[in-house]
Amino acid sequence: GAGVSQTPSNKVTEKGKYVELRCDPISGHTALYWYRQSLGQGPEFLIYFQGTGAADDSGLPNDRFFAVRPEGSVSTLKIQRTERGDSAVYLCASSPRTGGTGELFFGEGSRLTVL
Amino acid sequence: DAKTTQPPSMDCAEGRAANLPCNHSTISGNEYVYWYRQIHSQGPQYIIHGLKNNETNEMASLIITEDRKSSTLILPHATLRDTAVYYCIVRVANAGNMLTFGGGTRLMVKP
């Protein structure tokens, strides 16, 4: 079966541009998570969705970052006015449900480079 | 969630057991211990989790001390493909499944 799919796998953009990163979770998974990972660091939580709503967006670094999941499946992470410090691998994960002892299934990430 | 402490790096000979320690001295009674690993250029992968009993699956064994303040992940026969960063995470059950990653242990399996 298909795992978590993230596109694009690589994105190079210029400072100040707008970027969208897409995550297609495992079918039927209601919970979806976005993480950001800088070189040599562990993944850093950004936001998670339960269904269509953002249940916790406390990890978003500032208002240039926004994420949506309008139909409770695919999610898009949107970054406005990109800065060089936004360069990182953006990871998406999904799980069947929140709570309990559910594990997270991660995609391979979208590597963003801001020049 | 409780903080964990892991050695930054470890080496292991191929075919030998790899024992990765983790300290979580402030763990609460309702917090589980999770282990994930991340192979270069891939997303993290779930390995195993436990509450207080030792656990074993096809990938690894998890040994949790009786006071739950530390644990050890055991890869019984390490292979070169087990070279990765291993993350020990403690998480409150029913907390949205959000995981807080630390720096992890970089395990290098050598021939």
B53 in contact with A at a CB cutoff of 8 Å? no
Q: Do A100 and B93 touch (CB under 8 A)?
A: yes
Q: Which residue has the higher pLDDT, B3 or B38?
A: B38
Token representation of residue A86: 């936004």
Question: Residue B96: which pLDDT band, with cuts at 50, 70 and 90?
Answer: low
Among candidate residues B4, B25, B28, B16, the one with its CA nearest the CA of residue B94: B28
Among candidate residues A68, A90, A104, the one with its CA nearest the CA of residue B97: A104
Bridge partners, residue B27, by sequence = none
A55 in contact with B at a CB cutoff of 8 Å? yes
The whole-number average pLDDT for the span B43-67 is: 95
Write out pLDDT tens, residues B35-52. Answer: 999 999 899 999 999 999
Which residues fall within 8 angstroms of residue B13, CB to CB, at 6 or more apart?
B78, B109, B110
Among candidate residues B63, B80, B46, the one with its CA nearest the CA of residue A26: B46
Q: Do B93 and A45 touch (CB under 8 A)?
A: no
Shortest Cα distance from B50 to chain A (angstroms)? 9
B40 in contact with A at a CB cutoff of 8 Å? no
Write out the H or E segment, with its range, that includes residue A93: strand A88-95
Question: Residue B98: which pLDDT band, with cuts at 50, 70 and 90?
Answer: confident
**pLDDT tens string for chain A (115 positions)?**
589 999 999 999 999 999 999 999 999 898 999 999 999 899 999 999 999 999 899 999 999 999 999 999 999 999 999 999 999 999 999 988 655 556 889 999 999 999 9
Rounded CA separation A73/A49 (Å)? 10
Rounded CA separation A37/A30 (Å)? 23
